[in-house]
Amino acid sequence: MGKCMQGYLDEQFMELEELQDDVNPNFVEEVATLYFKDSARLINSIDQALERGSFDFNRLDNYMHQFKGSSTSIGASKVKTECTMFREYCRMGNAEGCLRTFQQLARQAGPKETAPETLGFTKYPPAYLSPEASGKNLLIGANFASAASGYDDKAALLNHAIPLYQQVEYYKEYKSKLIKVAGSKQADTIIKGSIYLLSAGSSDFVQNYYVNPLVNKFYTADQYGSMLIDNFSTFIKKVYAVGARKIGVTSLPPTGCLPAARTLFGYHEKDCVSRLNTDAQQFNKKLNAAASKLQKQYSGLKIVVFDIFTPLYDLVQSPAKSGFTEATKGCCGTGTVETTSLLCNPKSYGTCTNATQYVFWDSVHPSEAANEILATALIGQGFSLIG
């Protein structure tokens, strides 16, 4: 079990992993998804009960009994401990203790911080090129990502982003620095035990292929996607050689539903741009096939492709089901083309005052409220990376 998971998941979760086989390949994901949905329901019920002012300790204890049971079944040991404390306060009639414990519990298992808190993260790894990425801070990892970068290194350079090949070089450099801080043996343990997340591809298509005649006139979307997949495979092989073993990669989202795509390619149609969504789905099939092939080729390698297409598409198609009122444009500015922090920030002209009701923050990025829902949908898929 990785260092970041100690005290958060116990042996019960490992037993669930053992039940996953070829007959039930998605068993852990399905159980985790049900757990998070049930957790959100119970937290909401407890929150409403606490807001009434006069505490019904028996009802609160009943809710928490259910929560403890589901947490025990999935092996969420830290959440289970908080549930036990809450129930003890209920039995003593200690309202202040109940409130304090519930706040702690909600931070760990509530929808706003489901993904990082449940996985044991208390802070994010620093950007590798920032001053914070030094000394003991290197022990919690580093962020090598660059906005507008992707699998196409030429496109990244045109967008003034750090290309993927350079990010790999920074990763190698990071390992060398880590060895100086932690020693060779511990550094090797950290490198192999860490979880690596890769999110790329959207900018390659939306900000390069579809708008660059030097590319789309010579390659079909399918051919371009195959080129990107080759670059993805090369990337995996390079980081594997350095020591990475647990890698999560996001699929393409429904690019045809992004506000920017609607503006540029939708020709004022109300629906998503189906052609772009079809391209994204074809790319995602190639990505899953490549990931499966690489896992068979390289010993100890685990790759999880996080399906972000389905949950985001569902949000766009049925926003009201999740409490949203706008899914065709972003909150920031006009919501149709703005993406950069210069054009898109809370003070930008036209920015909405109710961002929680928008699926998108700007013309390409989901809002924080939408990301909370997406995180809950995705986290169950990634449990196989733990261990």
Q: For the chain (length 387 residues), average pLDDT per consecutive 10? A: 44 68 66 73 78 77 82 77 86 84 66 49 82 92 93 94 96 96 94 94 94 95 98 98 96 96 84 96 98 97 96 95 92 75 65 90 90 83 76
Rounded Cα distance between 141 and 288, Å, is: 26
Q: What are phi and psi of 207, to 5 degrees?
A: -100, 0
Cα angle value 261/264/270 (rounded, 5°): 65
Contacts of 163-170 with CB under 8 Å at 24 or more apart are: 164/200, 164/231, 164/235, 168/235, 168/238, 168/239, 168/242, 170/128, 170/129, 170/144
Cα–Cα distance, 54 to 73 (Å, whole number): 31
In the chain, where are the structural domains located? 3-113, 135-385
Asked if the 3-113 domain carries CATH number 1.20.120.160, the reply is: yes
What is the second-level CATH architecture of the domain 135-385? 3-Layer(aba) Sandwich (3.40)
CA dist 256 and 313 (Å) reads 10
pTM: 0.73
- Distance linking the first and last C-alpha atoms of the chain: 4
